[in-house]
Amino acid sequence: MGLYRIVSLILSWQVAASVCYYAIFAATPFFRAEFDLSGAAVGLVVTSLTLGYAVFLLPLGALTDRFGERRMLTVGLIGVSTGAFLVTQAWSFPALLASAFLLGSLYGTAMPGTNKAVFDNTPPGRQNVVMGVKQVGVTAGSGASALLVTGIAGVLYWEAGFYVAAGTGAVVAVLFWLVYRGTEPGGEASYPDFRKLGANPPYRALTAAGFCLGAALFTTTGYTVIHVTDSVGASIAFGGVVLAAVQVSGSVGRVLTGWLSDALPGDPTRRIGGILLAQAIASAVSLVAVAVVAGRTPTTVAFVALGFFLLGFTGVYYSCMATVVSAEEMGGATGGGQLALTSGALFAPPAFGYLADTYGYRAGWLMLAAVVTVGAVFVVRVIVAEPPADTVAAAAD
């Protein structure tokens, strides 16, 4: 298959899966009203979603090695579509949490499957750009879900957006199975060697940074609409537009930083790590701006800037990872790195919701700014630390 066709299929899959997954984040104000939830309880919905993702990420990654990305991505997309439908059928808060957990579980096929497809089918020198384009599928899907769920709710009801997302996902899953031809399966279903990865100082620091940045990323997407409606007094539909704008700016950030990662000269770790450091610092500043500004226009501008830096870092995160681990470790390293990103989201959303309920939204955003600042310190460690002497980086120049 040609590179353009491969990238188009992977991107289409990622958009469809992300529409289903991130519909949960867009629907948080509807969950709050439907089940009479506190801010902390809203955070538990996000935690349940990401817990399912975290628990099944590594097992599904191992199964991807065994059965191939074509089969696992097809099953995964059917699964997240089913999960999106079940969310609409939740009759109680526990049932909502269970449905969100199921949806998150099957979304665990996304990162190992799509990353494997990118690295197996993209020639060296173009992998960072393709990775950035693939990651745009996450923000594009999230932005589409924000407009879909909040927009349709104003005309019909909030469940209608989930019906559309689930139906679209099922159709794309069938098309992906029929058209995609990647590498043949046949690897062993084994877990990553975390002991060996743990002995790699820059990789340890990168996963610690990922924990901090992931905590802020998922909390931001989960509370953007609620913050805009509560603090600015705007409608839920306007909040959905702001969330979509955040995702669009994140997409721009992912593509631009992916291109810079390939184009700039210098040592790969210092070059790409420096880009990630700049994104982390700018994210912290943007979070402070969100905390202190008031009014629709300043708030929207602050969120769009936050999206560019905070939601735009994931492509560079994985590109940086490829400069500190070997090619044969990349699959396991990716799984561990994504687990770190997701783990941060298990704790931050309820904490943010509690602070927002108790002290106001400013306290929550400033808490996230502090967490991201700690993440920036770990990125510095990535840049200055040396990997084990026997490590030949997957993305060495």
Taking residues 243-260, report their average pLDDT: 85
Dihedral of CA atoms 160, 166, 170, 173 in degrees, nearest 10, equals 130
Greatest mean pLDDT among 2-16, 111-125, 189-203, 352-366 lies in 352-366
d(CA 321, CA 337): 8
Q: What is the pLDDT of residue 86?
A: 94
Mean pLDDT of the chain: 85
Name the band, by pLDDT with cuts 50, 70 and 90, for residue 83. very high
Mean pLDDT computed over 236-243: 87
CB 393 within 8 A of CB 268: yes
Which pLDDT band, with edges at 50, 70 and 90, does 395 fall under?
low
132 versus 372: the higher-pLDDT residue is 372
pLDDT value, residue 138: 79
Per CATH, the number for 3-179+193-384 is 1.20.1250.20
For residue 288, what pLDDT is reported?
97
Please compute the mean of the pLDDT values over residues 115-125 and round it to a whole number: 70
SS3 393: strand
Is 126 a residue whose pLDDT tops 70?
no
Residue 278 has pLDDT above 90, yes or no: yes
The per-residue pLDDT for range 180-235, each reduced to its tens digit, is: 876 655 555 555 666 777 788 899 999 999 999 999 998 998 899 899 998 888 88
Q: Please give the biggest Cα pair distance in the chain.
A: 61
User: 98-102, 213-217, 251-255, 373-377: which range is least confident on average?
Assistant: 251-255
Q: How far apart are CA 277 and CA 285, in angstroms?
A: 13
> Token pair of 133, please?
């384009």
Cα atoms in the Cβ-side hemisphere of radius 13 Å centred on 174: 5
Please state, for a pLDDT cut of 90, what percent of the chain lies above it. 38
Instruction: Give residue limits of the domains in the chain.
Output: 3-179+193-384
The 10 Å Cβ neighbour count of residue 196 is 16
Cα 375 to Cα 212: distance, rounded to the nearest angstrom: 5
Helices (H), the chain: 3-26, 28-35, 39-67, 69-88, 93-107, 110-121, 127-155, 158-179, 194-198, 201-227, 236-263, 268-292, 296-310, 314-321, 330-358, 361-384
pLDDT digits (tens, 9 = 90+) for 170-190: 999 999 898 887 665 555 555
- Give the pLDDT band of residue 280 (cuts 50, 70, 90): very high
Confidence at residue 112, expressed as pLDDT on a 0 to 100 scale: 76
Q: Which residue has the higher pLDDT, 195 or 239?
A: 239
Residue 334 has pLDDT above 80, yes or no: no
What six digits make up the tokens of 295? 């009014």
The pTM (predicted TM-score) of the whole model is: 0.79
The tokens describing 326, both together, are 């070997």
DSSP state, residue 184: P
Q: Which of 122, 116, 109, 112 is nearest to 7 (CA)?
A: 122
Residue 391 pLDDT more than 70? no
- Two tokens at 187? 């690897």
Token output for 244: 């979509």
Task: Yes or no: say if 81 and 20 are a contact pair by the CB < 8 Å rule.
Answer: yes
Separation CA 365–CA 288 (nearest Å):
7
Q: Which two tokens stand for residue 175?
A: 């098309």
End-to-end, the C-alpha distance of the chain in Å comes to 27
At position 285, the amino acid (one-letter code) is V
Note the pLDDT tens digit of each residue in 293-315: 988 999 999 999 999 999 888 87
Question: pLDDT (tens digit, 9 = 90+) per residue, 17-65?
Answer: 999 998 998 888 889 888 888 888 888 998 899 899 888 887 887 787 7
> Where on the phi/psi map is residue 235: left (φ > 0), alpha (ψ -120 to 50), or beta?
beta
Structure tokens at 333: 């390293």
pLDDT confidence of residue 335: 76
Find the DSSP H helices in 264-394: 268-292, 296-310, 314-321, 330-358, 361-384
Comparing 393 with 94, the larger pLDDT belongs to 94
Tell me if 145 sits within 8 A of 165, measured CB to CB. Answer: yes
